[in-house]
Structure 1
Amino acid sequence: MKRKWVLWPIMAIFLSAGCATVRQPSSAQRENKAHHTSAAVNKFEPSPKTHAMYDVLAAEMAGHSGDLKAAIHYYRKAMKAYPDPSLAQRTMQIALFLHNQKVALEAAHRWAKLVPHDAKPQQALGILYASQGDVTRSVRHLENYINKRKGNTGQGFMRVGTLLGQAVPEGVALSVMKNLVSKYPGQPRAQFAYGVMALKLGKSKMALGAAEEALHISPHMNEALSLKAQALMSLGDQQQAFKVLKEGMARAPKSVVLHLSYARLLVVVKSYRAAREQFRWLLKRSPDNPAVLYTLGLLDFHLKRDSEAYDYLQRVYKAGYHVSVAQYFLGRIAERNGNMESALTHYANVNAGEYLFDAQVRIAYILARQGDLNQAREYLGELRANVSGRRQKIELYLVEGELLQQADDLPAAFKLYDKAVHKYPKALQLLYARALVADKLGKLKIAEKDLTRIIQSKPNDAVALNALGYVLANRTSRYDEALGYIKRALALKPHDPEIIDSMGWVQFKLKHYARALHYLEKAYSAIANPEVAGHLIQALVKEGKRSRAHAVLEKALKAYPGNVGLMSIKHQLGL
């Protein structure tokens, strides 16, 4: 996104005071007019503040017109002419915007000189020197920042850690923080901040060491205990992480920090029910905490406790916290319970964030499910026109094609995919989708060509290998060639039930019925859909196991009553 140049607020101050800085003629000067035959005009003598005002105006005009070099030139000139700390700060910000480290440092030093007791310019200098790799100077200024900062020292260390982690290369950031922390050997909060930064940068061992050092200084520091557990978890020692927290909670049973950390670890290991109990404990102590309500809403959604989830997420939405996410999951709950109009309303209220695209796609699915396929297609077409990303445009073609297939309009689906492939010829997902529809329409050459192109581009694509092998086994007599593709797919994904089914079916076509039965029984135990059931029934009949074949057929028809494929097999085999 292109950044916009924003007029600096201090201009209002300059403009309101600027006129007063122009020197007016004195009474003596006015009387002096009598000694001249013609009126003399007094020489205009602007003050330093007026000079600065003009330079700032010139800088802002240059910035708005895109002449950024001129903007920084005039800001630097104004800063030198007039001793205003906010002007020095603004010059530093503009220099950073233009990646001019030299001027940024000059302005930061000017700012610090003008307000020697202010901690903020010291922080800025510390981060600037760190970004240049100057650890010594960085530590010196950050130490000044900590010492001059008012309020909680621990928050100061946390602020430094956050800024270093965001703005400075990892190695330098860690070195600066380590050296800074060493200046405060008795400060557990310093070690804690170092550990938090290290963990965010993926340095779990460093984080663990810092947490243990903080606990050595302050054994009952619950935040450090929580950090230790997180570091252990990150290092793969799940058992020890939970042990640390349980021991801490036994010592401090009312610690919100420890209960929260424990609850989060339970979520990580997908122990959702246990995590839910911990978050309910937290909610009792903070009934209107939106973060706790939000997490409980998501946990109950995953646990299919829809009534509770809906209540929690409604409260989250009303609190203005993660509004779009709350609306998305409220929509999911409504959709899961068959309340499509409510689901449409919630999805339409998702206007930002990671769930926006999925919410829009779900609107199309609901419209189609309600019998309005044309409106769903129009909606998807509008989305496609409005989204800028290639990946999302392709995904929308795939969704529309799927809706057409669900409506049994295979020719329209093929036409759509054909159009999309011509627009995005390198999109393998579109090639795969067109191949599957082409196969169903009996367009074998197109299906084989598309799947071959995918395999040429991605030789280890198990899905494409399996699809091509299955198409050849099902539509041709090129069984040995089909077997070769399916073998390659199975080697890549030996436990995939769909590939196992394909292997069973090609063995059936090769008249290796015992082998076919082995694979098909295995596939059927994983996915008992009509297609796999049909394959298994035919193999059982060939092996003389008609009673077992009849039992599989009856079970499949009960699950999928009236299925065309199963009914055809029933009549064909006389079961």
Structure 2
Amino acid sequence: MSSRLLASLLFMALLLPVGGAALAAPSEQDEAAAWLARAGQTEGLTGQVVFQLLLGEVALQRGQVNLAVSAYQDLALRTRDPAVVKRAVELAGAAQQYGMALELARIWVELEPESQQARQSLAGLLVMAGRIDELDGPISQLLAADPASLGANFLDLNRLLARHPDKPAVLAFVERMAQPYPTLPEAYYAIALAAFNAGQLERSRFEVRRAQKLKPEWEAPVLLESQIVLKEAGEERVDEAVRLLSDYLQRHPGAVEVRLHLARVLIGAKRYPEARQQFDALLKLEPDNPEVVYPVAMLALQEQDLETARRQFSRLLELPFPDRDVVRYFLGQIEEAAGDKAAALQHYKQVEGGAQYLMARGRGAQLLVEQGKRDEALAFLRQSTVRTPQEKVHLAQMQAQLLREGGQYAAAYATLAAALKLQPEQPDLLYDTSLAAEKLGKFQEMETLLKKLIKLQPDNAHAYNALGYSLADRNLRLKEAHELIQKATSLAPQDPFIMDSLGWVLYRQGKLQEAREVLEKAYALKADAEIAAHLGEVLWRQGRHQEALELWQKAQAQAPHNETLQAILKKFKP
């Protein structure tokens, strides 16, 4: 018999819905074979029963699960033999016919009231059915039958009922289970956790302190109490949690989980130097624990302590840390920050997957561009392995950006158009392809794409803005352009680039003073070269030439290659 009855029950309750995988278990087939052999020797056995036995097993072997379940259900009700009933419960549960499995389990317990397996099956099915009101008997019997694992089994109670939506009912149930065990700290802890999940924080703290009193060295209660304290917002709550954890560590300096939790609380409160102290202590206690080394490395990186970050991330590559790709990515970031771009590139190239994969490919490509290897950078991106539709979008965008930066506008457009052909209603691709089409003078295509995007996303401010700005910049259909940009403004009133578009269309309409006011507001929010170019032109048209020149000069110093600015400078200052 298992030493952890509720652990087995928890496993069954959580994993039973896996479907037919359990149907072909060798032990079950052996039991069925044994039953068939025993049944064949039983006097008075009807041919119908033998036929159904054979029918059930043959159907099971052929994958006809429903037929097998139906045959065994009928046999279980006919024969009331415990072996057949057990087999029927297993098959019905594995086939996810839980109502039938529950009724059969009740029969099994009735036939074999001393069977732990029968009671476990019944309890597990009651949990899955949400029948918490019927669980008292089965669970209390399982707890009493396993005294050696009583504490561990109480710790499983809340996990067992984690899916039950009525948290106060779960709390009441745990209280009833704990009542016979007034000296068991795990029982009070289970009540405290159930109260916490039910939102009864005062009750939870009261019960967790009872557990602490009975078992002062136990880490779990102090960890839960700190969570109770932090449940309510406020800096004073953080201070109280820090005091609580620190006091415990003074008494038990080797408590790794408590110290790790304290370090995380300090990071959450942005108290980085104090967190660093805790992690330094943790490294002395457990230098080979990846859960310690990783946050130390991240904290050092955040504090720009590159040497410590490099050392700890490199250490992770020697430890059983599961996400080696994230380690390689951050090592690349460290080497970039340290100025060793060759080493950074090597790390980025070694990132093979994960959330940082495309970022690593993008950074690697950018480093190649900085070395004057634009073609190699493009090849590096094109060799990337992407799986999801969103990853394909991001990769196309990165390639297009690299091509645009190299002045290869037609190639950028072709890249985006090819990606859009595969995902014709992808919003980001519609937007980027429209801008690439405009760059090549494909204005009708640009309008078509943006109007499609607006139809798909009526609240997309940037789509309205792009279409309105394009019309205004070409001095076409200014009334329509104004309406489109006004719509964008209503959706994103504080966006400086949309303000820039509004100022520009007002300028095109001859409303110089209104245009200047809007553009000055936009420039105050974002000192962008394109906004400066437009504002300067308005100032120039108002006769304020010196102001315009000074603004353009300042913008040119910050963005010497901005195309809009260069065009206006050529126009007014050839």
Please classify the TM superposition score into its range, dividing by the shorter chain length: 0.7 to 0.9
Q: How far is 1:242 from its partner?
A: 0.8
Counterpart check, 1:8 vs 2:7: no
Measured against aligned partners, the alpha-carbon deviations of 1:309-331 in whole angstroms (never above 9, x if no partner) come to: 33323333322123344344334
TM-score, normalising length from structure 2? 0.75
Measured against aligned partners, the alpha-carbon deviations of 1:263-300 in whole angstroms (never above 9, x if no partner) come to: 33344455555544443343333322211212222333
| Aligned CA-pair RMSD | 4.5
Decide which of 224, 229, 232 is 1:227's aligned counterpart. Answer: 224
Counterpart check, 1:159 vs 2:161: no
Q: Residues 191 and 443 from structure 1, CA distance in 2 versus in 1: closer, same or farther, beyond 3 angstroms?
A: farther
Letter in 1 for 2:178: Y
**C-alpha distance in structure 2 between counterparts of 1:492 and 1:227, whole Å:** 44
> Alignment partner of 1:476: what SS?
coil
Q: How far is 1:347 from its partner?
A: 0.6
Matching of residues 363-512 of structure 1 within 5 Å: 370-371=373-374, 372=376, 375-376=379-380, 378-380=382-384, 383=385, 387=387, 389-512=388-511
Measured against aligned partners, the alpha-carbon deviations of 1:506-533 in whole angstroms (never above 9, x if no partner) come to: 3433444444444434433444343233
Q: How far is 1:484 from its partner?
A: 2.8
- Equivalence for 1:296: 296
- Equivalence for 2:279: 279
Q: How far is 1:94 from its partner?
A: 4.6
Kept in 2, the 8 Å contact 1:108–1:125? The answer is yes
**C-alpha distance in structure 1 between counterparts of 2:171 and 2:367, whole Å:** 53
Counterpart check, 1:98 vs 2:95: yes
Kept in 2, the 8 Å contact 1:248–1:258? The answer is no
Q: Residues 121 and 356 from structure 1, CA distance in 2 versus in 1: closer, same or farther, beyond 3 angstroms?
A: farther
Letter in 2 for 1:311: R
**C-alpha distance in structure 2 between counterparts of 1:161 and 1:314, whole Å:** 39
**C-alpha distance in structure 2 between counterparts of 1:22 and 1:123, whole Å:** 27
Kept in 1, the 8 Å contact 2:358–2:395? The answer is no
Letter in 2 for 1:458: Q
Q: How far is 1:224 from its partner?
A: 4.1
Q: How far is 1:245 from its partner?
A: 0.7
> Alignment partner of 1:495: what SS?
coil
Q: How far is 1:100 from its partner?
A: 1.9
The alignment-based identity, stated in percent, is 25
- Equivalence for 1:37: none
Q: How far is 1:98 from its partner?
A: 1.4
**C-alpha distance in structure 1 between counterparts of 2:469 and 2:567, whole Å:** 20
Letter in 2 for 1:538: E
- Equivalence for 1:30: none
Kept in 2, the 8 Å contact 1:436–1:447? The answer is yes
Decide which of 248, 251, 264 is 1:252's aligned counterpart. Answer: 248
- Equivalence for 2:178: 184
Q: How far is 1:161 from its partner?
A: 1.4
**C-alpha distance in structure 1 between counterparts of 2:95 and 2:264, whole Å:** 41
Kept in 2, the 8 Å contact 1:58–1:74? The answer is yes
Q: How far is 1:197 from its partner?
A: 5.9
- Equivalence for 2:142: 145
Q: How far is 1:549 from its partner?
A: 4.1
Letter in 2 for 1:244: E
What are the ranges of 5 or more consecutive residues in structure 1 without an aligned counterpart?
A: 24-43, 48-53
Measured against aligned partners, the alpha-carbon deviations of 1:202-244 in whole angstroms (never above 9, x if no partner) come to: x5x2356423432366467864454344345445x23343133
Counterpart check, 1:66 vs 2:63: yes
- Which 10-residue stretch deviates more, 1-10 or 313-322? 1-10
> Alignment partner of 1:252: what SS?
helix
Q: Residues 512 and 194 from structure 1, CA distance in 2 versus in 1: closer, same or farther, beyond 3 angstroms?
A: farther
- Which 10-residue stretch deviates more, 515-524 or 5-14? 5-14
Q: How far is 1:301 from its partner?
A: 3.6
Matching of residues 9-24 of structure 1 within 5 Å: 9-10=26-27
Counterpart check, 1:129 vs 2:123: no
- Equivalence for 1:210: 204
Measured against aligned partners, the alpha-carbon deviations of 1:393-431 in whole angstroms (never above 9, x if no partner) come to: 444444443343333322223233334434433222221
Q: Residues 101 and 426 from structure 1, CA distance in 2 versus in 1: closer, same or farther, beyond 3 angstroms?
A: same
> Alignment partner of 1:318: what SS?
coil
- Equivalence for 1:34: none
- Equivalence for 2:312: 312
Q: Residues 534 and 97 from structure 1, CA distance in 2 versus in 1: closer, same or farther, beyond 3 angstroms?
A: farther
**C-alpha distance in structure 1 between counterparts of 2:361 and 2:61, whole Å:** 37
Kept in 2, the 8 Å contact 1:310–1:333? The answer is yes
Kept in 2, the 8 Å contact 1:331–1:347? The answer is no
**C-alpha distance in structure 1 between counterparts of 2:37 and 2:260, whole Å:** 62
Measured against aligned partners, the alpha-carbon deviations of 1:322-359 in whole angstroms (never above 9, x if no partner) come to: 334434433444566523442244312x4xx5445655
- Equivalence for 1:329: 330
Measured against aligned partners, the alpha-carbon deviations of 1:40-71 in whole angstroms (never above 9, x if no partner) come to: xxxx9699xxxxxx999997875564322355
Q: Residues 367 and 574 from structure 1, CA distance in 2 versus in 1: closer, same or farther, beyond 3 angstroms?
A: closer
- Which 10-residue stretch deviates more, 220-229 or 438-447? 220-229
Kept in 1, the 8 Å contact 2:259–2:282? The answer is yes
**C-alpha distance in structure 1 between counterparts of 2:367 and 2:113, whole Å:** 61
**C-alpha distance in structure 1 between counterparts of 2:452 and 2:195, whole Å:** 46
Kept in 2, the 8 Å contact 1:139–1:180? The answer is no
Kept in 1, the 8 Å contact 2:378–2:399? The answer is no
Q: Residues 361 and 137 from structure 1, CA distance in 2 versus in 1: closer, same or farther, beyond 3 angstroms?
A: farther
- Which 10-residue stretch deviates more, 139-148 or 445-454? 139-148
Q: Residues 332 and 284 from structure 1, CA distance in 2 versus in 1: closer, same or farther, beyond 3 angstroms?
A: same
Measured against aligned partners, the alpha-carbon deviations of 1:142-171 in whole angstroms (never above 9, x if no partner) come to: 233333345564532332212321xx4422
**C-alpha distance in structure 2 between counterparts of 1:453 and 1:519, whole Å:** 29
Ranked by relative contact order (alpha carbons within 8 Å, sequence separation 6 or more), the top structure is 2
Kept in 2, the 8 Å contact 1:56–1:78? The answer is no
Measured against aligned partners, the alpha-carbon deviations of 1:534-565 in whole angstroms (never above 9, x if no partner) come to: 23433444455555544444443333345444
> Alignment partner of 2:424: what SS?
coil
TM-score, normalising length from structure 1? 0.75
Kept in 1, the 8 Å contact 2:471–2:477? The answer is yes
- Equivalence for 1:573: 572
